């Protein structure tokens, strides 16, 4: 509805050139058709394949005008006004003669025609910029997306003579997931989701999120992580879990209840191997939303010199995937404090601005284990909702980590002396405990016997955990964290 008003408004300003950047060519043509009808103006459509055709009179196309030069000469020679929709004209904007032609037409005294250049990207050269306006087609809002889903569900029901199974809550979640896409894409993805099994269920959501991500992804600074963990895969971190649980409902709500700020993100600081990356993944699982990972190393390597623009685009994509969790692992590596004003300074600036200004529900989870190279700006109050310190696991948590990893490998926890294992693994990180389970399974396998406590205990006794090798570093980290962070467990 409002799109039509935009088009009418722009036509009324008599701007000679309109750049319409959209993947929805049909919709753009239709909008101009309706606007032209209202204004009583002739409407033409041109493409390099069909040539020029008058749309409002449904005349046959003039193939002889398929050449861009000929077309422009024709428009220049014609006396009347009219609206010309030029489809995919952008490749010809490289040619100085074409640009001059367009300029002549655009600068003509009234009645000047209006040329609308419609394409996925319409980069206008400087010579034309001040003679032009840009038109962006709006994307469907939540209500419009819902309507499309309901239309598709009804159409399916008619074709199969039975009602489509879809719970209201699932339709809501689906609609939220499909925000940020064009109407045509919403329709196509909904149709796919319905057609595989004649139902819309929670099980459709991850695949839809992934399909949507593929449509939006501009480069590959962001990756879509299929494998999210659940909180049940994480031992300990009770405080972090409770914190997330308390905010889950608000995060996925369409709008936070009055007085509550939407949760923005957490920084997980801590000891190596203590489960920070695992917990970051589990945040997405806990919220039940897609997980996107932002990789700074790719950002710097692949897009040398274009890092900020690519970061901005990646953050915008995350916004379109909202609600989602955006995970930046080892954030200190990308933002190391370089005092020369190099790229990482500017990347930090871009990130901080986004953190302060974003409105979409994108929950940022950053992890770090080296506080000394973290820029202080990032730690200032208000950037993250909370900074959690992930320390080495306590005794009961170690028992649970053994249990989780034994279960995972087909060794039911009931068959092991978890208390003794927990005692013997004092100072071990979660990663080291997992490693001990893996290694002792190998030992048992080589011997041809079942895994026993003794194998695990022997493996632990033979390992010097990092906490011993790096005792001083960990002590410094703990001292630093004590004053500035909240324990995650
Ligand atoms: N609390 C835990 N519960 C269950 N498994 C754990 C836990 N902590 C660590 N692990 C196991 O150890 C593996 C490695 O942990 P993870 O990579 O999350 O640690 P990290 O803190 O990110 O380490 P780093 O600082 O080296 O990146 C995890 O994939 C998981 O299998
Ligand atoms: Mg990690």
Model confidence pLDDT, tens digit, residues 272-326: 999 999 999 999 988 888 889 998 877 776 655 677 877 887 888 888 888 899 9
Tokens of 266: 């957490």
> Measuring CA to CA, which residue among 124, 139, 59, 60 is closest to residue 94?
124
Q: What is the structure's pLDDT at 1?
A: 45
160 and 89 co-located in one domain: no
Helix axis angle, 142-160 to 183-197, nearest 10°? 40
CA 443 to chain centre: 43
Q: Among all chains, which residue has been given the structure tokens 């394409």? A: 119
Specify the residue with its C-alpha closest to ligand 1, atom 29.
278
379 and 239 co-located in one domain: yes
User: What beta strand segments (E) does 222-376 contain?
Assistant: 222-225, 265-270, 291-294, 324-328, 362-368
Give residue 99's pLDDT band: very low, low, confident or very high (50, 70, 90): very high
Residue at a domain's end among 390, 413, 431: 390
Which protein residues touch ligand 1 with a CB less than 6 Å away? 234-236, 272-278, 367, 369, 393, 401, 404, 430-431, 434
Residue at a domain's end among 375, 390, 405: 390
In angstroms, what CA-CA distances link 51 with 28, 64, 78, 97, 115?
Answer: 18, 7, 16, 19, 15
Specify the residue with its C-alpha closest to ligand 1, atom 12.
431
Which DSSP category does 391 fall into? -
pTM, two decimal places: 0.71
In the reported structure, the alpha carbon of residue 67 is separated from the centroid of ligand 1 by a whole-number distance in angstroms of: 62
Query: What separation, in Å, do the N-terminal and C-terminal C-alpha atoms of the chain show?
Result: 52
131 and 8 co-located in one domain: yes
Burial of 352 (0-12, 13-18, 19+ CB in 10 A): middle
Query: Which residues keep their CB under 5 angstroms from ion ligand 2?
Result: 277
- Give the domain range for residue 355: 231-390
- With respect to residue 187, please indicate whether it lies within any of the assigned structural domains: yes
Residues 6+ apart with CB under 8 A from 321: 180, 209, 212, 213, 216, 290, 292, 362
Total count of domains within the chain: 4
Calpha distance 126→176 (Å, rounded): 39
Residue from 240, 413, 430 whose mutation best tests the ligand 1 pocket (most atoms within 8 A of CB): 430
Select, from the ranges 225-229, 291-295, 456-460, the one with the highest average predicted confidence (pLDDT): 456-460
23 and 103 co-located in one domain: yes
19 and 64 co-located in one domain: yes
Calpha distance 35→116 (Å, rounded): 13
Long-range Cβ pairs for the range 298-304 (8 Å, 24+): 298/220, 298/221, 299/221, 299/334, 299/347, 300/334, 300/343, 302/219, 302/220, 302/221, 303/219, 303/221
In the reported structure, the alpha carbon of residue 317 is separated from the centroid of ligand 1 by a whole-number distance in angstroms of: 28
Helix axis angle, 307-321 to 343-357, nearest 10°? 20
147 and 180 co-located in one domain: yes
Q: What is the structure's pLDDT at 168?
A: 79
> Measuring CA to CA, which residue among 78, 8, 62 is closest to residue 40?
8
- With respect to residue 95, please indicate whether it lies within any of the assigned structural domains: yes
Give residue 217's pLDDT band: very low, low, confident or very high (50, 70, 90): low
Ligand nearest to the CA of 405: 1
- With respect to residue 89, please indicate whether it lies within any of the assigned structural domains: yes
386 and 403 co-located in one domain: no
- With respect to residue 422, please indicate whether it lies within any of the assigned structural domains: yes
CATH of the domain at 274: 3.40.50.300
Q: Among all chains, which residue has been given the structure tokens 């692949």? A: 302
């Amino acid at each position: 509805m409002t799109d039509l008003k935009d088009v009418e408004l722009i036509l009324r300003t008599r701007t000679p050139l309109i750049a319409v950047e959209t993947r929805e060519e049909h919709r753009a043509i239709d909008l101009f058709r309706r606007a032209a009808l209202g204004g009583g103006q002739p409407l033409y459509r041109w493409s390099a394949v069909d040539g020029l055709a008058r749309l409002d009179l449904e005349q046959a196309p003039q193939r002889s005008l398929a050449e861009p030069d000929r077309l422009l000469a024709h428009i220049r020679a014609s006396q009347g006004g009219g609206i010309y929709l030029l489809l995919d004209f952008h490749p010809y904007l490289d040619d100085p003669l074409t640009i001059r032609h367009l300029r002549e037409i655009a600068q003509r005294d009234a009645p000047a025609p209006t040329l609308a250049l419609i394409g996925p990207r319409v980069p206008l050269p400087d010579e034309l910029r001040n003679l032009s306006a840009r038109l962006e087609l709006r994307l469907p809002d939540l209500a419009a997306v819902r309507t499309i889903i309901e239309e598709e569900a009804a159409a399916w029901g008619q074709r199969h003579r039975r009602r489509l199974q879809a719970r209201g809550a699932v339709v809501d979640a689906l609609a939220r997931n499909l925000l940020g896409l064009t109407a045509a894409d919403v329709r196509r993805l909904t149709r796919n989701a319905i057609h595989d099994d004649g139902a819309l269920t929670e099980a459709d959501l991850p695949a839809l999120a992934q399909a949507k991500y593929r449509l939006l992804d501009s480069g590959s600074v962001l990756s879509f992580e299929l494998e999210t963990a659940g909180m049940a895969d994480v031992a300990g971190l009770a405080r972090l879990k409770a914190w997330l649980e308390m905010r889950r409902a608000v995060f996925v709500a369409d709008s936070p209840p009055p007085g509550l700020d939407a949760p923005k993100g957490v920084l997980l600081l801590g000891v190596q191997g203590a489960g920070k990356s695992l917990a970051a993944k589990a945040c997405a699982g806990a919220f039940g939303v897609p997980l996107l990972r932002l990789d700074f190393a790719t950002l710097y390597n692949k897009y040398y010199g274009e890092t900020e623009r690519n970061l901005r685009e990646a953050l915008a994509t995350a916004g379109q995937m909202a609600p989602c969790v955006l995970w930046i692992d080892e954030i200190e590596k990308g933002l190391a404090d370089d005092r020369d004003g190099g790229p990482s300074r500017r990347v930090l600036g871009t990130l901080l601005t986004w953190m302060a200004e974003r409105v979409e529900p994108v929950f940022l989870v950053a992890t770090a284990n080296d506080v000394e190279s973290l820029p202080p700006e990032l730690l200032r109050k208000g950037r993250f909702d909370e900074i959690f310190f992930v320390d080495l696991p306590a005794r009961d948590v170690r028992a649970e980590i053994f249990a989780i990893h034994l279960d995972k490998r087909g060794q039911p926890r009931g068959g092991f002396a978890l208390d003794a294992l927990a005692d013997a693994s004092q100072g071990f990180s979660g990663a080291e405990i997992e490693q001990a389970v893996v290694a002792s399974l190998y030992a048992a396998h080589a011997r041809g016997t079942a895994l026993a406590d003794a194998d695990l205990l022997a493996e632990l006794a033979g390992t010097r955990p990092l906490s011993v090798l790096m005792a001083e570093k960990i002590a410094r980290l703990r001292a630093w964290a004590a004053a500035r962070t909240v324990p995650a467990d």
